[in-house]
Structure 1
Amino acid sequence: MFKLFTKDFWDVTARLILRNKIGILIGILIITILFSTQWKNMRFSNTEANLLPDDHEVNITYNNFLKTFGEEGNLVIIGVKDSTLLTVDKLNAWNKLADSFKKYKEVETVISVKDLQKLVKDTLHQKFELKPFIKDSVNSLAEINELEDELFNKYPFYDNFLFNKKTKTIRTIIYLDKAIVNTSARKEFILNELEPKIKAFEEATNLDVRVSGMPYIRTLNAKVIVDEIVWFVLAALLVTSLIFFFFFRSFRATLISLVVVCIGVMWTLGIIGALNYEITVLTALIPPLIIVIGIPNCIFLINKYQHEVKLHGNKVRSLQRVITKIGNATLMTNVTTASGFATFILTESTLLKEFGIVASLSILGIFMLCLLIIPIIYTFLPYPKDRHLEHLNKRWIGGFVSWMERMVKHERIAIYSVAVVLLIVSIIGIYQIKISGSLIEDMPQDSEFVNDIRFFEDEFNGIMPLEFVIDTKRKQGVMKLSTLRRMDELQELITEIPELSKPISVVDLVKYSKQAYYNGNTKFYQLPTSQENSFILSYAKNSTSDVDLLKNFVDSTGQYARITTFMKDIGTDKMERIEEDIQTKVDKLFPKEQYNVTMTGKALVFQKGTTYLVKNLAISLSLAIFLIALFMAYMFRSFKMIIISLIPNLIPLLVTAGLMGYLGVPIKPSTILVFSIAFGISVDDTIHFLAKYRQELQANNWKIKTSVYGALRETGVSMFYTSIVLFFGFSVFTISSFGGTVALGALVSATLLFAMLSNLLLLPSLLLSLERSIANKEVLREPAINIIPEEDDTDEVDSNI
């Protein structure tokens, strides 16, 4: 099968491409139209990024919880911290705003101050009744003062639920219909109904309303992603085209390259739609990535064409050589780049699999487009003008190449010393890297909705749901007093943890029932004794309202109970310590033969997913290294050449990891991609250099030094050009408002810059230092794949083209 990579194959390929110009262009047009018809299938993710495999224990636990109690992330919270809210007009307006949301089909229920009710004992009928604190509206300041006294001092059941009695912050909770939480209907309701109503209320009352809750955060975050895709693509096009024009000084060449990468982006979007994948924070990065990776392909092909035209003036021969000489090299480099992305396919995370599939297919697609479109278009264009070829004679780049040659020739000890020092310092930095399980760390930190998250964290200790499920292993086991007491002790521990909000469960409802049984006396807000329990339960059984409240905390069989709390956005390390403390308490309180207690919730699933990704980082990077090592082994058939080729590419990765440790950039879903992406791209320079080095060896009768310097001079310019494009191309991501995307762009850019210097300084130094052990004709004379075919001025020009 590898005969495909022989010179004959590329000669045939060149003839086929140049003889069938119109047919190929029509074919590309048809494929592009077909891909464009798939754009309608693209949709933005309506759920949080689940980084865990579907069969992971944490996912199974969470899905079981959802089956028992339903969607827990359906709360939208609006709050106000303003003393003027507790005036007649503004409090009535606040309650009216809450009532206005009840008419929407997307809303399941709304709980505001007006909806709070007292649990009152009806002695005559021996049941509990619910009576509202506010019947219709408040009419005087005296009523408000009475309401404050009752809520803040007499009914601890509601404490820290809708208000913070210390700061007088009041909030309203909107429960969305669970059926629409993970659909586009949620987005339409929040953007088209909720937000306009809140803005109108703010203008009418001059109050600053804070909005949060997982559905709201997800909607606003997705909106930012959508907006940024357009900016990323435009910025990538602008930056890469400017650099391209700076190198070539040709509007024609720049325009051709832009057309190619734009079609590549259209294909990428078509692939996403055809595979019916969602656009996530990861797949949103692929279109600009294709632009950044596609432009270097254009540079190689157009530069070769112009070089050949200048050399002999024959346009057809030049275009044939573009395909035969550069086609194989660009194929190999694109395959290694695609391999770096493709390693994510082998992970068990659906999110990473989809990213890997789309990215690797898109990279191979942009290679095909470059190889087909650029030579074909140039067949229709006139010869390049002299000013278009001036860049081939630039002197400034020669100074850079001469400096590298001097360093390799005279300063190898200094190069090795710097490499060793960087290696040691980087390893120290690596030990300082932290893992981040923060759900909002990568969100736009200056955005209003992130500021609102921090507001609710300060006022109510967070908005991210954390759930505890108590399985009593028997029907009606929850309402046994021994179970309730154990749950109460667990809730006391949760209350003492500053990162968690006050929990709520059936325990609080039972305490409230006892308080109501004793006519609202706050001293009796506690669990009943065994004797009291029978009396109170008899009242509860006669109270339909009480049963309605109970269904939110206990399943229909009475076997499962939930304790709901909310957590602040905290890191993985802190969350793991909290989890350990709680688990220790659970093990003491709940005998395993009687109870099964599990912790779950969206925030916990995300944090566990981040930890899972760290393990997959090592796997995916190892796979990338292994695949590329296999490729090197087949190409050069030498174990020593594998080691020499990997060293210059591994050191930049270690330096980048060290930088992350020193700069406090944590390992998280976004930054975890850096290493595989950078390795897949940076190894391209190594392939180009070693392939040219082998060619120089044959041309110079196996003279090592002459061949190394010749390869350095020949490839140094193209490496510099492509590295500059990649550096500034990936830097485009630093304009993002997402911290993770900024870190991804900056880290990949830095890694590729280190990789260029490593391949141009360290790699030739290693070849010179180890020349005796590696430079033998048996190893390098006949490679399995001839990446850069031998120069042959006798090749025939196809007269049919």
Structure 2
Amino acid sequence: MWKSIALLILRFKYLLFLLLLALTAFFGWQAKDVKLGYEFAKAVPVDNPKYLAYERFKKVFGENGGLMVIGVQTPRFFDSAFFNDYVRLQKSLKKIHGIEGILSVPAAVNLVRADSAEKLQALPVFKDTVLTQAQLDSGKTIFLNLPFYRGLLYDKAAKTWLMAVTTNNALFNTPARKAVIDSVLGLTNAFEAKQKVDLRMSGLPLIRTIMTDKIKNEMRYFLVGSILLSALILLAFFRSFSAMLLSLAVVGIGVIWSVGFLQLMGYKLSILTALIPPLIVVIGIPNCIYFLNKFHTSFRETGDKQTALIEMISKMGVVTLFCNITAAIGFAVFGLTKSAILKEFGVVAGVNVFALFFISLFFIPAVLSLLPAPKAVHMKYLNNPRLQRWLDRLEYWALNHRRTIFIATAVVLAVSVAGMLRLKSLAYVVDDVPKQDKVYRDLKFFEDNFGGVLPLEIVIDAKKQRRIVSLPTFVKMDSLVQYLSSRSYMGKALTLTEGLKFAKQAFFEGDSTFYALPGENDLLALKSYLSQKDDSTASTENVQGKGFAKLVSSFMDKDRQRARISVTMKDVGSEQLPAILDSVQTRAEEIFNRDSVEALSANADTKAEHKNDTLWGKRKYNIELTGGSVTALEGSRFIISGLKESILWAFLLITACMIYLFRSFRILLCSLIPNLIPLVITAGVMGWTGVPLKPSTVLVFSVALGIAIDITIRFLVNYKQQLKGNNGDVKKTVIETIHSTGLSILYTSIVLTAGFVIFCFSAFGGTEALGWLTSLTLVTATVANLVFLPALLLTVFRKKGQ
């Protein structure tokens, strides 16, 4: 059948060539419109409870992830020269399009009791003018006497000061966010240079923007690097510029198709899909090597170019088809997950890896038919003495040291399994940022001084309108806030009760000893202030006063049924975070629902009734934890779970392909074992070296399985093709297969390994892990298929003709 296909392809080669060019032009036209995706990747499916909880929160209280923080550590903060420059920085930042508000020391307000004793005014602590040192000292005394800002805007002991910058979330989901960040960095860099200090910056908008842009820039370099490296290796192998350019043209077409297909599907270029073009280069080059290797081998034997082309297509067509199918499966299985980011990556990578087969099948024969016949120098690599000596050694070991090979493999697998038992699932929000990077160092600065920058929101639903503003609820909220404040991994919590404490201090003439939750009588006295809707006592110019009222009101819904407790926390990682969230949830339930639970428990007829789910519905308060920290954890957990599932699907689908291709259980067994060995070894190495399971590292296994199985398919297909010509002589066929296919396998493995090694130069842990772990898997797969597989074939098929 494949010989007929070969004749058909060569007959219509020019038509197929023009069709390829037309499709390339179409995808190129599509590719010019591809856009960078700046929205935070939705790793969690839209029907996930954690995702739905976050959407409910945003509907009531708005987005909570749009906060940037700018910190400085200096004893000169209240020196007039420094402070006035700091004020000018704040004003300049506020003018940037995309910056919606700033909370900082210069913008701090103080609640002051009016002469009538019936109202509280929110007045600026520092006047909006260039301040003298005397004015600053006066304002400093007032500010440091306001416990509300302690731990929120400053840490006096560490001499650290914080500016909280609220960003426009809608704008930060567009390419315009880079201009915002660049403007912010321009102003902060100028301030640093003038004042000779280091400004620390963090927050999810900043982290996501910087990381996304850095990784995408890296992908451009890696794409160019993979092309140049592949070109050098191809030139060294084939000693032919035409063969090199032909191969680069194939992968170039593949890259254009992949980017155009991305746009055609309505996807954007994300952190993950940006990996696809360099992967297409790395995966596409082996197709070219195998086709050219078979063409040169056949031409050397026959001396006729047309016969060599027919032999190339008929022999390598079926092999390349199944190799590309299995490689495509390794990527396409990600499309079976519910995670949007994985689905997009899986669909685009799977389709375009498979498309490489048709590009190679139609493009290479057409171009080779137009080129002159290869010269002797172009085929010199077929007799590479060094590689032939290595193949001779592999043949010797497979024939004479099978027992040693099996024992050594068993020992390595035992050590690897022991390493696998040490594997842990661990992911961080800023997972792959190198520790020496400013983004990581600044994040740790805020964790050390302000308890972190990752948002955690606790939503308290009192189930009845206006119940949230009752004294019993305030007492419970304050109790939970005190619990959060006692945790070392939490920052300062903000909620209604902190505003009430501030109001009570103001009512008692600013005495900081009265910064405490108001009692029943205090609340009556403060009622008129609490009922204000727009801080009307402040003047129209008093932006700070209105901002404070808005800040307080943002912690409660309009029906006064739900309130939020906002707290920042450290990036503790997915291993610790579940226990922390469980402890917060448990403590919140104990505080808010202890009375109702105890009453239900006392009236319950049986323990089973007490444990029934209906008990939760009878509680007075519903407590829900959400925010960036919770969704980030759920996203990491979901991606890891989805990737594990995809590996299983990849293995099952590839097994089905192997059954169809070889139609023999023993051949199937021989094909799967050499590909499980590299995966086990890689997992073992991860365990022993302390590399955790996280989205970037779990991705390696499915990708590597799809690529590594190619080597096995090429070896076994060649084995089956030669077995018939050798009258079923297994030993002779294995020897011939090692020498005929081994050379191409070694060349291909060198290209693949070198292609993935490029990713090891990434500044990001995830991309670096993809590089060295996949390279390790491919090296071990090559050894397994050239050493273990021949020994296994000789053991399983002992008799002639089997």
TM interval, shorter chain, is over 0.9
Is contact 1:731-1:745 (8 Å) kept? yes
Deviations 1:6-36 (A, max 9, x none): x2xx334333432334333332222222112
- Are positions 1:451 and 2:441 aligned together? yes
Cα deviation, 1:106-157, whole Å, max 9, x if unaligned, reads 22212222211001112416111101111123533333333333323x1111
CA distance in 2 between counterparts of 1:150 and 1:765 reads 83
Pick the aligned partner of 1:252 from 242, 245, 261.
242
d(CA) in 2 for partners of 1:203, 1:650: 56
Counterpart in the other structure of 2:657: 631
CA distance in 2, matches of 1:31, 1:455: 52
Q: Is 2:497 aligned against 1:507? A: yes
- Matching residue of 1:26: 18
Q: Deviations along 1:644-691, whole A, 9 cap, x unmatched?
A: 321111111011011111111111111111111111111112112222
CA deviations over 1:512-537 (Å, ceiling 9, x no partner): 11111111111211111222222222
Identity rate of aligned residues, in percent?
A: 38
Q: What corresponds to 1:780 in structure 2? A: none
Q: 1:81-113: CA deviations, max 9, x gaps? A: 122332101201111111123334422212222
Whole-Å Cα distance in 1 between the matches of residues 365 and 8 of structure 2?
12
**Secondary structure of residue in 2 paired with 1:120:** strand
Aligned partners of 1:703 and 1:26: how far apart in 2? Answer: 45
Q: Tell whether the 8 Å contact from 1:126 to 1:542 is kept in structure 2 after alignment.
A: no
2:395 pairs, out of 397, 405, 425, with 405
Q: Is the 8 A contact 1:416 1:762 kept in 2?
A: yes
Structure 1, 134-143 or 435-444: larger mean CA deviation: 134-143
Alignment of 1:282-681 (within 5 A): 282-542=272-532, 544-545=534-535, 547-591=549-593, 592=616, 593-681=619-707
CA 1:274/1:128 → structure 2, altered by over 3 Å: closer, same or farther? Answer: same
Task: Tell me whether 1:183 sits opposite 2:209 in the alignment.
Answer: no
Query: What corresponds to 2:129 in structure 1?
Result: 137
Identify the residue that residue 698 of structure 1 maps to in structure 2.
724
Contact 2:749–2:782 at 8 Å: present in 1 too?
yes
- Distance (whole Å) between structure 1 residues aligned to residue 411 and residue 16 of structure 2: 53
* Aligned counterpart, 1:3: none
Retained in 2: the 8 A contact 1:304–1:326?
yes
Counterpart Cα distance in 2 of 1:21 and 1:766: 41
CA–CA distance in structure 2, aligned partners of residues 769 and 316 of structure 1 = 39
Contact 2:492 2:567 in 1 (8 A): yes
Letter in 2 for 1:283: T
The residue type equivalent to 2:752 in the other structure is L
Matched position secondary structure for 2:127:
coil
Q: How far did residue 542 of structure 1 move?
A: 4.2
| 1:45-97 deviation digits (Å, cap 9, x = unpaired) | 22222322111111111111111111111112222112233210120111111
Query: Is residue 85 of structure 1 aligned with residue 111 of structure 2?
Result: no
* 1:167 has 2:158 as partner: yes
Deviation at 1:388, TM superposition (A): 1.0
Of 743, 749, 758, the residue aligned with 1:717 is 743
Aligned equivalents of 1:324, 1:268: Cα separation in 2? 27
Alignment of 1:40-55 (within 5 A): 40-55=32-47
1-structure distance, mates of 2:690, 2:423: 7
Code of the residue aligned with 1:765 in structure 2: it is: A
1:281 and 1:582 map into 2 onto residues whose CA distance is: 33
Offset at 1:543?
Answer: 6.6
Distance 2:26 2:532 in 1: 65
Name which of 6, 9, 13 aligns with 1:17: 9
Would you say the 8 A contact 1:437–1:572 is kept in 2? yes
Does the C-alpha gap of structure 1 residues 259 and 205 become closer, same or farther in structure 2, counting only changes over 3 Å? same
Q: Which among 111, 117, 121 is matched to residue 119 of structure 1?
A: 111
SS at match of 2:458: strand
- Answer whether contact 2:71 2:162 (CA < 8 A) is retained: yes
Cα-Cα RMSD: 1.8
Higher mean Cα deviation, 513-522 or 633-642?
633-642
Aligned residue for 1:51, secondary structure, equals coil
Please point out which of 208, 217, 240 is paired with 1:218.
208
CA positional deviation for 1:164: 1.4
Secondary structure, counterpart of 1:466 in structure 2: strand
Letter in 1 for 2:123: K
- Residue 194 of structure 1: CA displacement? 1.6
* Letter of the structure 2 residue corresponding to residue 597 of structure 1: I
Kept in 1, the 8 Å contact 2:434–2:763? The answer is yes
Deviates more, 1:538-547 or 1:164-173: 538-547
Q: Corresponding residue for 1:793?
A: none
Amino acid at match of 1:717: L
Is structure 2 residue 38 aligned with structure 1 residue 38?
A: no
Is contact 1:237–1:291 with CA below 8 Å preserved after alignment?
yes
Q: Name the CA distance, whole Å, in 1 between partners of 2:97 and 2:558.
A: 25
Superposed CA offset, 1:202-224 (max 9, x none): 23333322222211111111211
- In structure 1, runs of 5+ residues without a counterpart are 1-6, 778-801
Match of 2:541 in 1: none
Provide Cα deviations, 1:399-441, integer angstroms capped at 9, x if missing partner: 1111111111111111111111111111111121121220112
Q: Is 474-483 or 349-358 further displaced after alignment?
A: 474-483
Give, as a single letter, the amino acid of the residue that structure 2 aligns with 1:111. Answer: L
Deviates more, 1:226-235 or 1:713-722: 713-722
The answer as to whether partners of 1:341 and 1:680 remain within 8 angstroms in 2 is: yes
Q: 1:66 aligns with which of 58, 73, 88?
A: 58
1:85–1:526 distance in 2 versus 1, CA, 3 Å: closer
Secondary structure of 1:587 counterpart:
helix
* AA partner of residue 782 (structure 2): M
Q: Deviations over 1:763-795 (max 9, x none)?
A: 22222222259x765xxxxxxxxxxxxxxxxxx
Alpha-carbon displacement from aligned partner over 1:155-202 (angstroms, at most 9, x marks no partner):
1111121211111211222211243232223222222x2222222222
Which AA in structure 2 matches 1:585?
R
TM-score (norm 2): 0.92
Cα distance, 1:313 vs structure 2: 1.7
Please list every run of 5 or more consecutive structure 2 residues that lacks an aligned counterpart in the other structure: 536-547, 594-615
The two structures have a TM-score, normalised by structure 1, of 0.93
Distance between the aligned counterparts of 1:270 and 1:13, measured in 2? Answer: 29
For 2:742 and 2:296, the matched residues in 1 are separated by 18
The aligned amino acid for 2:573 is: G
2:264 corresponds, among 252, 259, 274, to 274
- Pair 379,637 (structure 1): closer, same or farther in 2 beyond 3 Å: closer
- Deviation of the 1:350 alpha carbon: 0.9
Q: For residue 40 of structure 1, report the CA deviation from its aligned partner.
A: 4.1
Paired residue type of 1:685: I
Deviations 1:528-566 (A, max 9, x none): 122222222233224732753332211111111111111
